Structure 1
Amino acid sequence: MDPAKTPWFTKAETEIGALRDVESVRVQGDGDAIREIHVLTRSSRAPKQIVRDVQAVIHARFNRSIDYRVVSVAYLNNATKSEAGDGNGVLSTAPDSPAPPEPTRPPVVRVDVPSASAHATGPRVVEAPPREPERHPAADERIRFGGVNLFVSGARTQAQVELVWRGLPRLGTASGWSTRTGAHRLVAQATLVAVQEFLADELALGLVDVEFLRLGRKRGVVVSLSMLVERQEKLLVGTCVIEQDLHQAVVFATLGALNRLVAGMRPKEPTEYVLRPTSVE
C-alpha cells in the first residue's frame, strides 16, 4: 500500500476495483481530495457508463461527490494480449471496432434514350441515382439494457439501472432495506424509474411481485406490474430465463412487460442547456 495515500483512498480503490469490467484502478489525490482516478478495463461499454459507475460507488460508499472529469478510462486490447511480452495486453484509448464498410458505387443501368443527333446510334449509359440505405425503425423501438449495479451500505441497499432508447441513455435508482428478496424488487423498481425518464407522459405503474420458477434445468424470473388506465387496473407480466446475471434477468423481465406499451408512448424531448454570462450593471 502506498504510504502517501489516505486510508479512504485505499478503500476507494478496493470498491472501484470490485465494479464490473474494472481490471485495475489507481486513485491519486491532494490531501483528502481526489484529483485523478485512472481505470483500466477490457469492456466494450462506453467510457461514460464506467465513469458513472465510479461516481455512484464513491457517493454510495463514502458519501462524497466527484467530477466526472477526474476519471480517465483506458481500454486493454484483448486482441493483442497474447502478443504482449508482459501478458498485460496493449493499452488503447478505445475498444477495437470493426473497420467501416467501403462505400458501394450506385448501380449502372442501361436505358434507351432517344438521341437528338441523327448520327448517334445505340443506347446511352445513364447512372441511376444512389439508393438510400434501408431503415429499420423497429430496431430502435425497444429499450436496450445498459447496466445494473447494487450498492449496499449497512442496512440499506441502492439499485441503479441504466437503459438506452433511441440513442439516449437514462439512469433509474431505487433504495430500500437490505432484505433477502428486497434486492430483486429494487432492481425492478429502478428499471421502472429509468423507463419513465424516456416518456413525456407519466405512467401509473406499480410493482406487484418478482417471482422465480424452475424451467427444466434452468431458472426463470417473472415480473408482474400493475398499471392504472382510466380507473381500471391492468396487469402486465414479463419473463426472462436466467442465463448468468440474476439482476440483469430481472431488468429484462421488467422490460418484457413494458416494451409493447412503451413503443406507442410519446417520448420526452431531450433538453439542451445553454449557459450565457450574466451582464453586470
Structure 2
Amino acid sequence: MTNTQLSLIQIDNYGPWTVTPEPRREMDLQTLQSRLFADLAQFVGSRDGYVFFTRFDNMVAVTNGLDEADHELLQESIANRYPVTISLGIGVDSSPIEALEAGTAGLQHAGSAQDGDRREVLAGDALPVSDRTDEDLQIAHFDVNDATGKYTDRLNEFDSFIHIEQGYATLMRYLREEYGGLSFFVGGDNIISVCPNMGEAGYRDAIRHVEQEAGVELKVGVGTGRTAHEAGFAAKHALEVCREHGTDVEFDRVYAEVAND
C-alpha cells in the first residue's frame, strides 16, 4: 500500500502583494516565481523529494522523508531571501488526492491565501519514520510516443504545445477522477504522476483513454520506492525499457529494490 506525503506550498498574500502599492511588472513577477520554484526544487530535491509548479503561487511537493523541521527550515530560507513568505500544509494518505486534500484543509483552516495576517503557517504532521516503508510511493513517468516526429519537427511550437497539453489535461483529469492520482507536466512531452498502488491494467486504461479522447499516444514507466527520487528514478529506468522494446507499460520494481540496498 502506498503512503504518500504531499506538501502544499502556498505563497502568502501573493495576489494583493502583486498590485501593492501598484501593479508590478509582469516579467518581474515571472522571474520571482521561476526563481522561487528553482529554490524550492533544489531544497526538496536535495532531500529526495519532488516539487511541481502547478500555478506557481501554489505548488505541490512530494515530501516523503522530510519532517516538520525540514519544512520549518524551508520556510526560514525563503523568508530570508524573498519579499514573500510561504505557508505549508502537509498531508499523508494512501491516496495522493486525499493527502493533498488534507494538506489543503490545514492551510484553509488557518485562513485565506490572501489574508495579510496569515503568514508562514505549518499545518499537518509528517509521516513518522516508524511508519515508512520501501513501497510508500508509486511514481509513473509518461512520455508521448514520437513527439518530435509527430509534433516538434512538423508543426509550429504553439500547435505542438496544444497537442501535448491536450494529452496532459486528459490524463490529469482521468487519473485524478478514476484513481485519485495526481499528474504534473514537467516539460517537453513528459508528465509525472503520483499514483496509488495501481496495476498494469489501470495504466493501460489511462493510455487508451488519452488516445481516444485527445489523439495522443503515451507510454509509461512505473517505479516504487521510499522517496520520490527512488520511485521516480525507477520509473525513468522503466520508461527506457519501453523505448528499447517498444512497449507501452513497464514496471521497474527491481531497480527500486537495488536503490534501497
- What TM-score results when the alignment is normalised by the length of structure 2? 0.28
Larger Cα Rg: Structure 1 or Structure 2?
Answer: 1
Identify the structure with the greater helix proportion: 2
- Higher RCO, 1 vs 2 (CA within 8 Å, ≥6 residues apart): 2
